[in-house]
Amino acid sequence: MSSGLLNQVQITSNSWYQIYGASPAGKTATINILACNLSNSASKIFLTASNTAYTNPPANSYLEYNTSLGPNDVFERGGIVLGAGSFVYFRTEYTGYATTSNVAVTVTGYEV
């Protein structure tokens, strides 16, 4: 059983990042996601969960869509319960004067 800190990713482009993936067979995961905007410009964030891996998420998989994350601000989403083989993806879009995103994402939780 894994617990505590499950993953950390620094997102610096507008691509999808798999921040949690493939819960172990026969296990359920409960995770929390914390994202910190390290830049001086706002970012838009997108968060999805799915039972399959993908490149572009289907519309029905979004947990957050086009949510504004201000400069030096923090976003937190907790209590996400996932079945075996589930994946969670995160993407940002920079806004304002920024030329790239700079968001630190931390995933905590446990698998049982």
Q: Model confidence over 53-75: pLDDT tens digits?
A: 887 888 899 999 999 999 999 99
Task: Tell me: pLDDT of 98 over 90.
Answer: no
Q: What is the pLDDT of residue 4?
A: 92
Task: Tell me: pLDDT of 12 over 70.
Answer: yes
Rounded Cα distance between 29 and 51, Å, is 13
Q: How many CB atoms lie within 10 A of CB 39?
A: 21
* 75, 15 Cβ separation under 8 angstroms: no
Question: Does pTM top 0.75 for this prediction?
Answer: yes
Mean pLDDT, range 97-112, rounded to an integer: 85
Q: What is the pLDDT of residue 82?
A: 92
